[in-house]
Structure 1
Amino acid sequence: MHKNWKTYKLSKVTTKIGSGSTPRGGKGAYKESGISLIRSQNVLDFKFSVNGLAFIDDEQAAKLKNVTIEENDVLLNITGDSVARVCSVPQEFLPARVNQHVAIIRADNKLLDSKFLMYSLLEKSNKDMLLTLGSAGATRNALTKSMIEVFELQLPPLKEQTQIANILSAIDDKIENNLATNKTLEDMAMALYKHWFVDFGPFQDGEFIDSELGLIPKGWEVKRLEELSEIGSSKRIFRKEYVDAGVPFYRGKEVIQLSKGKNISTELFITEERFQEIKLKFGAPVKGDILISSVGTIGVSWLVDDSGEFYFKDGNLTWLKNYKSFIKGEFLHLWLNSNVGQEQILGETIGSTQQALTISALRSLKLVIPPKSIYQKLEENLVNSYRQTQLNLSEVATLTNLRDTLLPKLISGEIRLKEFKTQVEHLV
């Protein structure tokens, strides 16, 4: 710690620390719209999630007026498995309140920059300390108000806090912009696919014929998935073959995260030698192949990118590869994600006690295929959209790694702004 940095208890550099409650009646009291009620599921590390955002009316909100969120407040999850997750709330979701599982921490802006506060609580040693406090001596993870009040942070002068926070925020803003751009690209690709290949919009004035899947334009065909792609799984890897470092080994949960464009923290690996042995005998996924989650959360597909070699768990994931016609992975990926594809997948898993998507079930799925000339009119558009998405995700991975590397060094004072500012500015 540098000589001009000082250690403070949070109670000395904040104007509010407190959590709320759930309105009487619990979930049944929530409204369709109104004032946001922020719960632990909305508080993720670094970012706010709208998934499951609840709303309350003015009367309910009045009873929680002591936990009104103000712009730049930092939110900290204080109970359960998500304890110690930290973010701030975008202004568009205000006015808002918090329930009893989330604490508001309001920086005293004369002493503490609110973004510096958020990043400090996310810094690994501080995060680990919060997790340790939260798990101490209770059946359920919990951080109390008194624990938060006495929690200590090392703070540089306010101006330097703001400079550090601005650098980290610039990286996070670029990450969010890339992810938002990808969402737009994906939505546009799906809308284009649906218009041409599900609604047959450009072909409505032409002749239609009956098929197993209803009326389709004349000249189009219904094909089983097995006619378009080889469908299989991986070579079994045994628990004893896992190692601490090497080639990443993905299960369903990693592939689901990758399908959402999220960075993953690989937990399992196999040796490079074992991977090369399997690759030589049985093959390994390459760019453009598709992996589909087949147990638990079923039917989530990931179009394999070019981010590096990996292997995956048999049974959990099914593998589409070696496409057999002019139809390629981008088209099949859009079909798998479309309502039409998802309904067929759901139809194959309903009624089973252990829900699973089998290889034989996938082989029998049917889809409408256009003539090659029509497919080629949109192929370049779809491929370019996916290519831009992959470039954006690659940049997200680089930026996330940069932020995660810089954060502990900046928050601890190990490195100073002038030492790397030029390096960061060209990236963000």
Structure 2
Amino acid sequence: MNNKEWKPHKLDELGSVGRGKSRHRPRNAAHLYGGPYPFFQTGDIKAAGFHLTEFTQTYSEDGLAQSKLWEPGTLCITIAANIAENAILGVKGCFPDSVVGFIPDPKKADVRFVKYYLDTLKLQMQSISRGTTQDNLSVDKLLSFDFNTPTLKTQQRIADILATYDELIENSQRRIKILESMARGLYREWFVHFRFPGHEGHPRVASALGEIPEGWSVVKFGDLYNTGSGGTPSRARPEYFMEGSIAWVKSQELLDGFVLSTEERITERAILESSAKVFPANTVLVALYGATIGKLAILSQAAATNQACCAVLSKLNSYGREFAYLTLLVNREKIIGMRLGAAQQNISQVLLRNFECLKPQDELVHRFSKVTAPFFDGILTLQRQIENIRRTRDLLLPRLLSGQIEVEAT
């Protein structure tokens, strides 16, 4: 392949570019939502992998009337809040004006190639988007970037190579979802619907939470678990961060899975001289406030956290990570509904400890943990595989997209 084949193009020279639509005011009007049309928001795009299929909101017919339904294969690019995140629509869907849609000209561009190229520009786009109040990447700024592109066949060949890695990642992610569903389903079967092994021999008795199996009790979450939070070492003290060896978890890194690595690390001195503290591996974390409020994570290694993360530590041997994590997951909306604070709407440690929950018999919880621990271990193994695959792909990506590695168009 001759590098002279590579020529700079603006994004709108490779296809059509348009902003999403969400014109209705107020935007939270109830009649706009709850229908059959997926409504993808910036957070959904940030959380997506290669393809965008998962969503947290839907539009009704009224919602669709003031928006637009985009076709699968559209590249979605965030320009506000989460800057330059992107994913390719896997289903028909709508999105707001904080998202730009790119539809490639089939004679000029492969949407996968454009997506990968955009990944290499993400840091630059985020850098020029920083504002005094809210980060924002205007469409004009987006269209100012050059996309250095080879022939369409070479684009397709490069995209095929990189997409192989993303297919492996998506396959592992599907397996994770299956394991998560199995663990969550078993929890509901045993501790919500009370169809646990031997349930036939347990008559129901009245309680503050309705009828429960005999031998169970209603307790506060704090009777089963201690809670704690960390802190943020002073940014004015570079020795707290430079060459740090201790993983430091922030609330935005809690994404309902294991925390394998962190954006930042802190030093031993930071632990000694600040409110940050180290929690052991397998500690369950809850985001107390912020964009990820209520989200959970499990530490894969000992790590410190900031003050927006609440650590959940077992008081009783039987009540480990599995029961803690799934109790919080299944009751998340209820817990968030109890939140306090008019400004930030935060969950507090006190609220969490006072949350009423069921305490089954210790032997049953121990049995549950033994059954579900392999599910959690399997999720951790798959997450590590994904991290390794992603690392390999990211090493290849800039070299392929700069023409350093030559490929033969087929």
Q: Which residue of 2 aligns with 1:426?
A: none
| Residues 348-376 of structure 1: CA deviation (Å, up to 9, x unaligned) | x4477775555455444443333344334
* Identical positions, percent: 22
Q: Relative to structure 1, is the Cα distance of residues 316 and 132 closer, same or farther in structure 2, using a 3 angstrom cutoff?
A: closer
Which of these residues, 361, 372, 377, is aligned with residue 382 of structure 1?
Answer: 372
Question: Partner of 1:415 in structure 2?
Answer: 405
The answer to whether the 8 Å contact 2:277/2:305 transfers is: no
Instruction: Give the aligned partner of residue 422 of structure 1.
Output: none
Deviates more, 1:18-27 or 1:394-403: 18-27
- Residue aligned with 2:148, SS: strand
Q: How many residues align?
A: 395
Matched with 2:225 is 229
Answering whether residue 111 of structure 2 is matched by residue 114 of structure 1, we say: yes
Q: Evaluate the alpha carbon distance shift between residue 300 and residue 60 of structure 1 in structure 2; reply closer, same or farther with a 3 A threshold.
A: closer
* Worse-matched range after superposition: 315-324 or 34-43: 34-43
Seen in structure 2, the aligned counterparts of structure 1 residues 192 and 249 have a Cα distance that, compared at 3 Å, is same
Query: If the length of structure 2 is used for normalisation, what is the TM-score?
Result: 0.77
Separation (CA, whole Å) in 2 of partners of 1:345 and 1:70: 34
Amino acid at match of 1:80: A
Uncovered stretches (5+) of structure 2, i.e. residues with no partner: none
Q: Is the 8 A contact 2:7 2:150 kept in 1?
A: no
Structure with greater Cα Rg? 1
Residues 164 and 374 (structure 1), Cα distance of their counterparts in 2 relative to 1, 3 Å cut? same
In the other structure, the counterpart of 1:423 is: none
Which stretch shows the higher mean deviation, 221-230 or 383-392? 221-230
Aligned pair 1:194/2:197, yes or no? no
CA distance in 1 between partners of 2:378 and 2:227 (Å): 27
Letter in 1 for 2:380: Q
Q: CA RMSD in A?
A: 4.2
Q: Does 1:327 align with 2:319?
A: yes
Distance 1:103 1:234, change over 3 A: closer
152-161 or 390-399, which moves further after superposition? 152-161
Q: CA deviation at 1:331?
A: 1.1
Change (3 A) 1:262 1:109: farther
TM-score using structure 1 length: 0.74
Does the alignment pair 1:250 with 2:249?
yes
Deviations 1:166-211 (A, max 9, x none): 1222222222232232223222212211221122124256322334
Which residue pairs with 2:168 in the alignment?
Answer: 174
Kept in 1, the 8 Å contact 2:39–2:56? The answer is: no
Residue in structure 2 matched with residue 75 of structure 1 by the alignment: 76
Does the CA contact (< 8 Å) of 2:240 and 2:269 recur in 1? no
Distance between the aligned counterparts of 2:248 and 2:342, measured in 1? Answer: 28
* Range that drifts further, 39-48 or 378-387: 39-48
Name whichever of 109-118 and 30-39 sits farther off.
Answer: 30-39
Tell me, yes or no, if the aligned pair for 1:245 and 1:271 is still in contact at 8 Å: yes
Amino acid at match of 1:335: T
> More helix per residue: 1 or 2?
1
Structure 2 residue 206 is matched with structure 1 residue 210: yes
Question: For residues 97 and 357 of structure 1, what CA distance do their matches in structure 2 show?
Answer: 31
- Matches of 2:155 and 2:323, distance apart in 1: 48
TM-superposed CA distance for 1:34, in Å, is 5.9
Q: Is 1:317 aligned to residue 318 of structure 2? A: no
Tell me if 1:343 matches 2:334.
Answer: yes
Q: Partners of 2:299 and 2:5 in 1: how far apart? A: 46
Counterparts of 1:166 and 1:219, CA distance in 2: 58
